[in-house]
Structure 1
């Protein structure tokens, strides 16, 4: 496990997501692109809400891990990057139905990127987080939590690209 590579992947994933959000004009940002879709701003708010607790969870209570610390990384990747499957977000990370400020979203993502990168650099990623569980997987290691965040953000970057393509066609 190379922490520098993990931080690099984390930073590049969030930076790409920020760039995608930046690519929408203010009107597109808060417009529903097609029926059943979130606005690009709502997608960003969802990622902000989902990722905002990761630094706290990574820095929270842990215990030694009695299995390979990366045991669930491939499973998380397979689930999150399967774009043929529609998922429903838990209520606590659903975006509110309102207009959002682009800069505020981008700045929140930047704060998350900095905080989680610091946690990855400073902490033992083999430890199991006690304050965070993934549905179907239970408690995960810090390493698995970071990869969940990376793959979840990549999933929604893919969603933003689809929305962007929809706007390009119209």
Structure 2
């Protein structure tokens, strides 16, 4: 399966999960420190909002880059739900109550844009206009892997939230 197909499948899995959540559940959390499913979706959107700009920004070629190791590190770190990761800054969700329709539409549109751009640009070039806080500068393909694993992590989080409601 191509990376683009994996991204599409990941998008559909998340939005299918969100679609099955009632509006009450979408805006509910089991305690004061846990995000609502709405806030999780907003966080995912905020985390990926700058990706199209990265894809069109400055890049460089690193012929000796070991992308497989970087992607495997992401996979291991993001899919370990026992390890707590802390979001900060612009990727934090707000407290404004947004509708499920608005948030899912925004996320779907952004993912469609990223998917289309995956075909337009060389995936192995390193994007140099923003350094990921954990992994440093990433290639376009590594950013897509990040989006997938980050989303998988948060789909698991949504399941845990719903189980506690």
Q: TM-score range by the shorter chain?
A: over 0.9
1:132 aligns with 2:109: no
| Aligned residue in 2 for 1:68 | 65
Q: Measure, in 1, the Cα distance between the counterparts of 2:22 and 2:88.
A: 28
Q: Deviation at 1:164? A: 2.3
Which one has the bigger strand percentage? Answer: 1
Which blocks of at least 5 consecutive residues in structure 2 are unaligned? none
* Ranges in structure 1 where 5+ consecutive residues have no aligned partner: none
- Verify the 8 A CA contact 2:29 2:161 in the aligned structure 1: no
Structure 1 moving runs of 4+ over 6 Å: none
The answer to whether the 8 Å contact 1:81/1:155 transfers is: yes
Question: In the alignment, what sits opposite 1:27?
Answer: 24
The structure-2 alpha-carbon separation of the partners of 1:17 and 1:139, relative to structure 1 and needing over 3 Å to count, comes to same
1:36 maps to which residue? 33
2:7 equivalent in structure 1: 10
Residues 140-155 of structure 1: pairs in structure 2 closer than 5 A: 140-155=138-153
RMSD: 1.5
For residues 120-156 of structure 1, the C-alpha deviation after alignment (integer angstroms, 9 at most, x for no partner) is: 1121111000112122431111111111111111110
Residue pair 1:69, 1:144 contacting (<8 A) in 2 also: no
The 3-state SS of whatever aligns with 2:2 is: helix
Task: Say yes or no: does 1:165 pair with 2:126.
Answer: no
1:45 and 1:105 in contact (8 A); partners too: yes
TM-score (norm 1): 0.90
Name whichever of 17-26 and 41-50 sits farther off.
Answer: 17-26
Give 1:69 shift: 5.4
Q: Which residue of 2 aligns with 1:91?
A: 89
Equivalent-residue separation in structure 1 for 2:7 and 2:102 (angstroms):
20
Q: Output the CA distance in 1 between the equivalents of 2:88 and 2:130.
A: 14
TM-score (norm 2): 0.92
Question: Offset at 1:59?
Answer: 1.9
